[in-house]
Amino acid sequence: MASAKTHLTFFFLLLPLLTTTTATVAAAAAALIGKPTAQINSNSVLVALLDSRYTELSELVEKALLLQTLEQAVSVHNITIFAPRNEALERDLDPEFKLFLLEPRNLRSLQRLLLHHIVPTRIGGSRWPNETTRHNTLSEHPLHLSNSESVKLVGSAKLVREDDVVRNDGIIHGIGRLLIPKSVQQEFNTRRSLRAILAVKPEGAPEVDPRTNRLKKPAPPVRPGSDPVLPIYSAMAPGPSLAPAPAPGPGGPHHHFDGESQVKDFIQTLLQYGGYNEMADILVNLTNLATEMGKLVSEGYVLTVLAPNDEAMAKLTTDQLAEPGAPEKIMYYHIVPEYQTEESMYNAVRRFGKIQYDTLHVPHKVVAQEADGSVKFGDGEETAYLFDPDIYIDGRISVQGIDGVLFPSSPVDRSLKMTESAKTIDHVKLVAKARRGKLLEVACRVLVSIGQDSKFTKCHQI
């Protein structure tokens, strides 16, 4: 902080001493450091930032060696800085994430994170868009500005101090929380799971008798991070008639991977991403799938979740949710026991036309094919496009946003499908209101009516 100020101040002190034009000063400075230099003005929003209440942010900007980049930016255009309150960077930030940002080898991540808070145009409070609009930032990720019921939002952060600092070359608004670009979150997740693997000492893995699908006795040593011995279906918890009765799991968890944190991360990412609240809610609150997935990932299994977005979820009918275990079945059908990214799936459908992926809803498979330059899932009446690719990818869990809810096309599961008479949940109303929990409410109502509600603790809280 102190040295950052010195850096700029030193430059201003120089200015009056030189009886040349600013252009020459800039040229001289440029010659000195071998780069075109900005003509920074003491009135600049950058100088104001270093002097502002946002001390945590300006300290990070300095640590990230970004001052020169920003000086150049303000020399050619106005900037708008969305400055997180100090608390957002102190108290509210995962200490592990902060450590990650401050590690010198993660400098690029820190820079990208900070530049994500800066828009290369001037957006004053009075010119805040009424509609949700997308703005480029100085990072490669765009930001969405929105305005809902007179609450101004930057991504998921509330604007808490509008026009806090106004200068000729830019504006600083205070915001309530840090904006974390997807790529930085992913780098953190990856780094953490790698560390988790390295931090684990090798331990014995169980050996399975293929005839009984049960454990043989002594366990040979296994490399940490190696693939699990049993097929994923054997490791899954017994579900409501999902799979043939599973064999006992492979003798206790090995925890080569911190599956629970990874699942927590991806749910957090889904919530932050926006538009996938229903899915997150089902995983966490309506079923115990999140816990289940955490266990599987800890055991070394990999998963790809095809996450229907909220619009798709809102079209689910009460009939579709009525059968016991229906929410689980629907969700299991959207989980593929493989690690697939947008790229791998797209390449596969491009090369092979149609691809079948296993799902956790055995024995049903989900078909994927290329359509309109994207990947289309399902071959029955309900199909869904890959809509938000790679929402979360950390090497073990992949989350791909899709724009429909998929159902197995075999006649066995027709009962799950939409019937003509089924009443659709009022879509428009759902979108307009706070949507979270609506699906839960409907599902619980259905469950109460068939006496199944006691399985879901959340139902009693509604």
Ligand X SMILES: *[C@@H]1O[C@H](CO)[C@@H](O)[C@H](O)[C@H]1NC(C)=O
**Residue ranges in contact with ligand X by CB under 6 A:** 77-78, 122, 127, 129-130, 168-169, 267, 277, 280-281, 284-285, 436-437
CB of 270 to ligand X, least distance (A): 8
β-strands 157-167, 170-175: how paired?
antiparallel
Q: Which is nearer to ligand X, 266 or 357 (CB)?
A: 266
**Nearest Cα residue to 346 out of 372, 325, 313:** 372
Q: Which is nearer to ligand X, 67 or 101 (CB)?
A: 67
**Nearest Cα residue to 459 out of 323, 445, 450:** 445
**Nearest Cα residue to 313 out of 271, 285, 281:** 281
H or E element at residue 314? helix 310-314
Q: Which is nearer to ligand X, 169 or 328 (CB)?
A: 169
Q: Which is nearer to ligand X, 249 or 275 (CB)?
A: 275
**Nearest Cα residue to 168 out of 82, 84, 83, 77:** 77
What are the C-alpha distances in Å from 7 to residues 66, 83, 94? 12, 21, 31
Q: Which is nearer to ligand X, 285 or 452 (CB)?
A: 285
CB of 401 to ligand X, least distance (A): 16
CB of 437 to ligand X, least distance (A): 6
Q: Using alpha carbons only, what angle is made at residue 363 by residues 361 and 365, rounded to the nearest 5 degrees?
A: 75
Q: Is 149 left (phi over 0), alpha (psi -120 to 50) or beta?
A: left
Q: How many CB atoms lie within 10 A of CB 217?
A: 7
CB of 169 to ligand X, least distance (A): 6
- If DSSP codes are grouped into helix, strand and coil, which group holds residue 394? coil
Q: Which is nearer to ligand X, 45 or 375 (CB)?
A: 45
CB of 435 to ligand X, least distance (A): 10
Q: How many CB atoms lie within 10 A of CB 31?
A: 10
CB of 186 to ligand X, least distance (A): 20
Asked, as a colleague might, if the bond just before 363 is cis with ω within 30 of 0, I would say yes
Q: Which is nearer to ligand X, 449 or 461 (CB)?
A: 461
CB of 308 to ligand X, least distance (A): 15
For the record, the structure tokens of 437 come out as 């929990």
**Nearest Cα residue to 297 out of 328, 335, 343:** 335
Q: Which is nearer to ligand X, 169 or 394 (CB)?
A: 169
CB of 78 to ligand X, least distance (A): 4
